[in-house]
Amino acid sequence: MNSPALPGPRAGLEDTEHTVLVVDDQPVTRRLLSRPLELAGHRVLQADSGEQALDLLASEPVDLVLLDVVMVGLDGYAVCRRIKTDERTMFIPVVMVTVLNDRSDRVRAIDAGADDFLSKPVYQEELTARVGSLLRLTDARRELEQMREAQIRGAFKRYMCPKVVDDILSSSASSMRSLLERTQRREAIVLFTDLRGFTALSEQLSAEAVVEVLNEYFSEMTQAAHEYEGTIFNMSGDSLLVGFGVPFEQSAPADRAFDTAVEMQRRYRDLAARTCERLGVEVGLGIGINRGEVVFGNVGSLDYMNYTIIGDTVNVAARLEGIAQAGEVVASETVVEGLSANRAADCRGLDESVQLKGRSAALRVYRLRPD
């Protein structure tokens, strides 16, 4: 999630730099304000009331508002306050146009969020100069916003599939800040992958060949996770940590994790065959899946931070991956309970519950060996 985006370029308005909304309940005043702006090359919209102005702002891309203070119905102060408290319009400059010259009136306008003032009668040169100055600031802010969005998009693409990244960037500014800044708890499905035979492979191959094998492996596993909208939280050695239902809630997260695991094993079979043919080494893939509460957010020190998930649920998923044989998926009973019926039918329970390292109680698990 996205800071309120400023209006971008408008298709079909090549000869118009910006769109200005003129709000005044007097037709003559609207014409007097609109004409110089049109001559300066701007597209001008007109509203004869505060209510109409807000409707236009909700449906039209606007770069600046010229707003009369004294109007029937909603006055300029109320309209300005609405503009500045709405995340969709809060960055649009508002210039208050008024015959009121008392200092208290200006203080009230500033309190409502006004960016500048013009006193009636308005002189054309002053009008175009002030509007031009504010629009240049709007352009600069827009460029910074686009740069920031590109940086955020690049950062999140390291973890999430493109669709989830788009959802983040289209969410409200408060949602984005919450995602980036807060540490939160949520139930999630955690999936771990790890290579079987990787240690032997590392001893037999050159460093360059090992890195090549890892890059191919992580590329295939990441694509499989993104296919079902999983979030990549960590790559370490030959292990991959993927979350479902976190950082955003998702429909059927257990099914997504199950389908991801099946797809990962399918992809890795082909990759393992090519690796064996090319390098003469055999490597398999083990996968563990667990369900439960996790803590997610930025974790680390002042010098190094990592956006990840932690907790007992993650630890158990890693332990389950550790007991998975090559080509096998091991899931906890809580995961299987969350699966749809046809997927749950593909899982078979072990004859006995397993005792995982570091845990006092035995855990019932299920094994899946995809065809």
Determine contact, residues 289/265, Cβ cutoff 8 Å. no
pLDDT of res. 6: 40
43-47: strand order across its sheet: 43-47, 19-23, 64-68, 94-98, 116-119
Secondary structure E strands in 25-106: 43-47, 64-68, 94-98
CATH 3.40.50.2300-classified regions of the chain = 19-153
**Total Cβ atoms within 10 A of residue 138:** 19
Architecture of domain 183-368: 2-Layer Sandwich (3.30)
Look up residue 244 and give its two tokens.
Answer: 């479902």
3-state class (DSSP) for residue 215:
helix
Bridge partners, residue 286, by sequence: 194, 328
pLDDT tens string for the chain (371 positions)?
Answer: 344 444 443 433 334 479 999 999 999 999 999 999 999 999 999 999 999 999 999 999 999 999 999 888 899 999 999 999 998 899 999 999 887 666 777 788 888 899 998 888 888 888 988 898 899 888 888 887 777 767 666 666 666 666 666 666 666 555 555 555 567 899 999 999 999 988 888 888 999 999 999 999 999 999 999 999 998 898 888 999 999 998 888 999 999 999 999 999 999 999 999 988 888 888 999 999 999 999 988 777 666 667 789 999 999 999 999 999 999 999 999 999 999 998 988 887 775 678 887 777 888 899 887 76
**Total Cβ atoms within 10 A of residue 9:** 9
Determine contact, residues 305/299, Cβ cutoff 8 Å. yes
DSSP 142: H
pTM metric for this prediction: 0.60
CATH 3.30.70.1230-classified regions of the chain = 183-368
Looking at the domain covering 19-153, what would its CATH class be?
alpha beta
Pairing type for strands 284-300 and 239-244 reads unpaired
pLDDT of res. 156: 63
